Amino acid sequence: MQKSLRSENSWFPVSAPQGAPQAFGGPEFGWALFQLLVQKIDSRAAAKAGDLVAAIAFLTGRIIQRAAFRDAPDRFRLDVSGNGISFLRNDEVNAKIGSLTAGSLGSILIDSALLSGARRMPEIAQVISNAQETMRRRGAADLRDIELSASPAMLAAEVQSDVDALLWDASDRAALVRAFIQSCGHAIGYQRTRFCPAEAAELCLSVALYAGWLDQRENLRS
């Protein structure tokens, strides 16, 4: 798992760096996170094609939401789904996940899908619309009919159950957000399962949005 160089027919993504991961917060920390997820999630005998993407997407959405909540909790709005499940709204979180501006998850996913040979562009606008509708109606994730071995939250818990502990230091939050978004980009190009890059990008965005909306305030440590 420590091998970083990409060779012909490699399972690893075209975005993989040409050297070893750097220290925390460095440009290659996202690559180190990606390798950890491959080891923890994709190596299981029961793993499905979408598991790796769903796990890192859920963690990324949570990291983005929780970092914003720690810095400015008053910017969140509480909403309720049609079946009575509460969820959170935050314009900055939505933009960091779904916009196409530089550094956002949506932008990274499109770039990674194209670099990985996608034959169509990920349908970002449609994914956002479907995810919003699913959240309003059922307070659930829109998995786009992709089969997973467990829920995105359960898959993510295999790697990190206490996201808030990672965000304790304010100086680390921006670096963590960047690293998790980078690791999503690496996951889109991961070819062991031959998961279509555009479908992988769409699943990643949908799950990250769900995690960014999910109301988990009771878990926040003051």
Closest CA to 215 of 81, 124, 33: 81
> Would you call 156 helix, strand, or coil by DSSP?
helix
**Which tens digit of pLDDT belongs to each residue from 150-174?**
999 999 998 887 777 777 777 788 8
Query: What pLDDT is recorded for position 197?
Result: 93
Contact, 121 vs 198, CB < 8 A? yes
Q: Is residue 8 part of a domain?
A: no
> Would you call 161 helix, strand, or coil by DSSP?
coil
Residue 57's domain comprises 29-217
Q: What average pLDDT score do residues 126-143 get? A: 96
> Would you call 41 helix, strand, or coil by DSSP?
helix
Q: Is residue 6 part of a domain?
A: no
Q: Is residue 5 part of a domain?
A: no
More confident residue, 27 or 68: 68
Q: What average pLDDT score do residues 117-128 get? A: 93
Residue 127 has pLDDT above 60, yes or no: yes
Enter the DSSP assignment of 214.
B
Query: What pLDDT is recorded for position 3?
Result: 34
Query: What pLDDT is recorded for position 17?
Result: 53
Q: Is residue 192 part of a domain?
A: yes
> Would you call 8 helix, strand, or coil by DSSP?
coil
Residue 11 has pLDDT above 80, yes or no: no
Q: Is residue 198 part of a domain?
A: yes
Contact, 188 vs 113, CB < 8 A? yes
Q: Is residue 126 part of a domain?
A: yes
Q: Is residue 1 part of a domain?
A: no
Number of domains within the chain: 1
Q: Is residue 71 part of a domain?
A: yes
pLDDT band at residue 30 using 50, 70 and 90 as cut-offs: confident
Compute the residue count for the chain.
Answer: 222
